[in-house]
Amino acid sequence: MPEGHSIHRLARQFRSVFAGQRLAVSSPQGRFTAGAAQLDGHVLVDAEAHGKQLFLGFDNELFLRIHLGLYGAFDFGGDETFRGSSSIGAPRRVGEHEVADDGGMAAYAGPPEPRGAVRVRLVSDHGWADLRGPTACEVVTEHERSAVLARLGPDPLQPDADPEEFVRRLTQRNSPVGQLLMNQEVLAGVGNVYRAELLFRAQIPPRQPGKQVLQATALDLWKDAVVLMADGVAAGRIVTTRPEHRGDQSQPAPASEAHYVYKRQGLPCRICGTAVAMTDMAARKLYWCPSCQAG
């Protein structure tokens, strides 16, 4: 599932490519025809991400709310003015990073014929975006948008986020911290990769109850999430290993050295050499080092 850094990259790309432009909105697949008709011909005013939720705001005071879920992804294209990623979305589709398209199309003649089940297509004079496979894709009002945001926890990528609110929500609950970090009402935007890596870097046992996490530790966890997720926005991929724990410190981290524990079950811990463990927690695979995170 795309994590919060990818959704913020999407918002940034929509602001860059489509903000201030009148868009043709359609649903080639047919499942979003009524919603597309409400937005068709209107100007995109803004794009905002909070956690894993993306809101595209239009000049008729309606919003397109999108949650990519496990399989959702956007494809983009356009003329020579288009700059950005050609695909942002589910790792199962595009990997743990976004695919860059730095040169745009050599000869732009409008969007291509839809491929596959395109839920919604947005087209300007200079580019297009196709959405496939989202968990949620709906038109909402400002009141409905606010209701969604009110249910979410603070987002480490929001400059006005309240760290103390995260600390309060984490340390007042008795559920395992590994489960709480995946709860979007506690912390918005963190998914399975960041969950495993943040806990490893903080040396927190995944099954430790939230109530037993010291407030200072929880605050450090937040600060680390801010740094790692901001790096993810900048790089378009999740890299959590420190340079000293990689082979060639002068080069970007290869995929094989990008993480400490995520999907490294059975391999030696990069710090202590203990075999990385894996189990299920909250219906997702959990990775941790039994020694470094022994508590």
284 catalytic per annotation = yes
For 118, the token pair is: 């395109």
Best CA proximity match to 50, nearest among 60, 35, 36, 65: 65
Half-sphere exposure of 123 (CA within 13 A, CB side): 14
Q: 9, 52, 237, 270: which one is catalytic?
A: 52
Sign of CA dihedral 14, 16, 17, 18: positive
Task: Provide the angle, in degrees to the nearest 10, between the axes of the packed helices 192-202 and 215-235.
Answer: 130
Amino acid at residue number 132: R
Q: Check if 61 is active-site.
A: no
Please, what is the angle between helix 4-18 and helix 215-235, to 10°?
Answer: 40
| 2 given a catalytic annotation | yes
Catalytic residue among 3, 48, 98, 197: 3
Pull the structure tokens for residue 291: 């020694």
Taking phi over 0 as left and psi of -120 to 50 as alpha, with beta for the rest, 54 belongs to beta
Residues 136, 67 contacting (CB under 8 angstroms):
yes
**What is the three-class DSSP state of 52?**
coil
Whole-angstrom distance, CA of residue 231 vs CA of residue 225: 10
Residue among 31, 83, 207, 284 flagged as catalytic: 284
Residue pair 294/205 in contact (Cβ under 8 Å)? The answer is: yes
β strands within the chain, DSSP E: 24-26, 44-50, 53-58, 63-67, 73-78, 84-89, 99-101, 118-123, 127-132, 136-140, 277-281, 284-288
| Catalytic site positions | 2-3, 52, 284
